[in-house]
């Protein structure tokens, strides 16, 4: 992404909530965030409030937690802008 003009930051504060996100990339007004999730207790609230202003949000989980993350995302889609992109990825995809 950096080679395509994106500015990427690790453990960066989001705007306007100031919530830390694991990785965020910005290019103009577009934002892509990656949030590694090991606990699901507050994931829905984080997505709907603290991370709501990120255009594309990828929730990164262990392989065994994909279905659980997808269920949370489907619930969030009911309350968020239809333009917001939510997706799930496994942590294994980040290893070569």
According to DSSP, the β-strands at 7-13 and 85-90 are unpaired
Q: Is the pLDDT of residue 96 over 70?
A: no
Q: Is the pLDDT of residue 89 over 70?
A: yes
Band of the pLDDT at 71, cuts 50, 70, 90? Answer: very high
Could you give the angle at the alpha carbon of 48 between the alpha carbons of 42 and 51, nearest 5°? 90
Compute the average pLDDT of residues 60-84. Answer: 93
């Amino acid at each position: 992404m950096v080679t395509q003009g994106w500015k990427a930051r690790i453990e960066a504060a989001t705007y306007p909530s100031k919530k830390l996100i694991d990785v965020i990339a910005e290019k103009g007004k577009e934002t892509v965030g990656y949030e590694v999730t090991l606990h699901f207790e507050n994931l829905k609230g984080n997505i709907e409030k603290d991370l709501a202003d990120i255009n594309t949000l990828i929730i990164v989980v262990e392989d065994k937690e994909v279905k659980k993350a997808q269920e949370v995302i489907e619930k969030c889609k009911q309350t968020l802008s239809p333009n917001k992109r939510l997706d799930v990825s496994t942590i294994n995809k980040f290893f070569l």
